[in-house]
Amino acid sequence: METTNEKSLATITHLSALSQYIIPLGNYIFPILIWSTNKDKSKFIDFNGKQVLNFQLSVLVYTLVFVAVSISAFLCFSVETINKIDFSQNNFDVTEVLSTQNITGPLIVGITAIVLLVIMKVTEFILLIYGATKAANNEHYNYPLTINFIK
């Protein structure tokens, strides 16, 4: 049975990752500080600190993948679009090239990557609060789709 102080620190560890919305990189700095200063004192805080940090690092990896996919997809779409425009005329019409009939695979992939990124960030927010609630109730919580960087 964990003490109230251990449950509170574990809960704060989860919630400290939400500081990313106020302080850049706060989602890494504050959980690392709380976890590293208390991991030897409590197995419960050690477990929750590892979970939060692994989850935040996993979200970083997934974010980088989605951003790389969307940027490369939009660049491919831009190159395709520029190649379709006839610049030899003084009056070229961009609306013909950008019509719904010319939506291509790269554009769909880029939009899908951005939508998935937004869904992931909303889910991250909800899961951090859910993890904090579980820690406050003295329960162990493993974040879904988390890569275990810290064992």
Closest CA to 55 of 14, 9, 8: 14
d(CA 49, CA 14): 8
With a cut of 70, say whether residue 32 has pLDDT above it: yes
Instruction: State the average pLDDT for the chain.
Output: 88
Segment 22-40 mean pLDDT: 92
Q: By the 8 A CB rule, do 140 and 50 touch?
A: no
| Sequence-ordered list of residues with C-beta below 8 angstroms from that of 114, at least 6 positions apart, any chain | 66, 70
With a cut of 80, say whether residue 138 has pLDDT above it: yes
pLDDT band at 1 (very low <50, low <70, confident <90, very high): low
**Residues 134, 136, 139, 145, Cα dihedral to 10°:** 30
Residue 20 amino acid letter = Q
Read off the pTM.
Answer: 0.84
Q: By the 8 A CB rule, do 40 and 49 touch?
A: no
Question: What is the per-residue pLDDT across 87-119, written as a single tens digit (0 to 9) for each?
Answer: 666 666 666 666 666 677 888 899 999 999 999
What pLDDT was estimated at residue 98?
65
Token pair of 139 as six digits:
């329960």
What pLDDT was estimated at residue 104?
76
